[in-house]
Amino acid sequence: MDNTILLGAVAYDPKVVSIWEGIRQYFNESGTPLDFALFSNYERQVESLLAGHIDIAWNTPLAHVRVRQRTAGASLSLGMRDSDRDFHAKIIVRTDAGITSLQDLHGRRLAVGSRDSTQARILPLHFLKEEGVDLGRVHLVPFDTDLGKHGDTGTSELDVLRALVEGRADAGAVGDLVWVLEQAAGHVDPARLEVLYTTPGFDHCMFDALPTLSPVKREGFVRSLFAMRWDDPVHRRLLELEGLREWMPPREEGYQSLIDALAEERTLAAAG
């Protein structure tokens, strides 16, 4: 029986090829045969996983929640990045916009990322609503770039920051990593932009599999994945490209806010 794991990933950037070629080589050398298939969008990747065309999918939170729901919670969660835990979204404002509270957002322009971006659109809006902001009274300035990529490219978040700097929006929603890394790199003028609000934490990407995944594949995958080390130059190159320092075991509680947000959207859609 062929025990080669077929893993699906979405090609949101040319570096995705380097990442998975590197991981494929490392897995094969560490005794876990693995190959990968690249998709152009998460919707098709989720369908392919559910149809059994691939064994494991490297999924965004949105894709992960869909897999959980479509399998009635029976899917296997295999692992996540350290950077996937305790993600936050930030509402950034122009310092000259005179916005000092969430209520001040009413009547103002709020730049948001792609409609399938968890950190730059879905959850910041969900939490703003929970905080009592009436989204019907906020003028959304959406950047629906790279749809299907679920915000992976980060393009729409950089679009949001640019819109703020250029005065095309008064406030904007971005993920915390983009925000602090842009600051740490010296790309943000702290005199012009500041944080108005930080959302509660939520979790990000996850390796998903169907419950029918063979134990050999499952154990091999987990063993090789968690043997990767930051101090190993070969592993480190891959971990840097994928944006993590170490792989972490899965956990589900970090997706509840997204599940709630999607349920609300469905309710609204049904009502509308």
Partner 1 sequence: MTADRWEERPSPAGAIAIDGGDLPLGGGLLALVRPALTLLEPGGLLAILSRGRGVADDLESWCRAERNDYLGAEVLGDGTTHYLVRRGRFGVHRSAEPANDVAQELPPRADAATGFAPHGTVVEAGGPLYPFDLVERDHVTAPEVTELYEQAVAAQWSAARDIPWDTIPRHEPALELAVRQVMTFLAENELSALYVPSRFIARLHPAYVGVAMFLATQMQDESRHIDVFLRRARATASPSAISSSTTSHSLHSLLQVHDFTESAFLLSVLGEGTFLDLLAYVERFAPDEATAELARRARIDEARHVHFGMAHVRHALAHDATLYPRLELAVRHRAATLSGTGGVPAPVQDALTIYAAGSSDPKRIRHGHDAFRELLATMHEGRTRRLRSAGFTAEQAQMLSDLHTPNFM
- Positions that interact with partner 1 (CB under 8 A): 82-83, 86, 88, 90, 176-177, 179-184, 186, 188, 190-191, 194-195, 198, 230-233, 236-237, 245
Q: Which is nearer to partner 1, 4 or 18 (CB)?
A: 18
Q: Which is nearer to partner 1, 56 or 244 (CB)?
A: 244
Q: What is the DSSP string of 152-219?
A: TT-HHHHHHHHHHHTTS-SEEEEEHHHHHHHHHTT-S-TTTEEEEEEPPPB---EEEE-TTS-HHHHH
Q: Which is nearer to partner 1, 219 or 240 (CB)?
A: 240
What's 122's DSSP letter?
I
Q: Which helix (H) or strand (E) holds 246?
A: none
- The least CB distance from residue 233 to partner 1, in Å, is 5
- Written as one letter, the residue type at 70 is R
- The least CB distance from residue 229 to partner 1, in Å, is 9
Q: Which is nearer to partner 1, 42 or 197 (CB)?
A: 197
106 within 8 A of 137, measured Cβ to Cβ = yes
- The least CB distance from residue 113 to partner 1, in Å, is 17
What's 119's DSSP letter?
I
- The least CB distance from residue 182 to partner 1, in Å, is 8
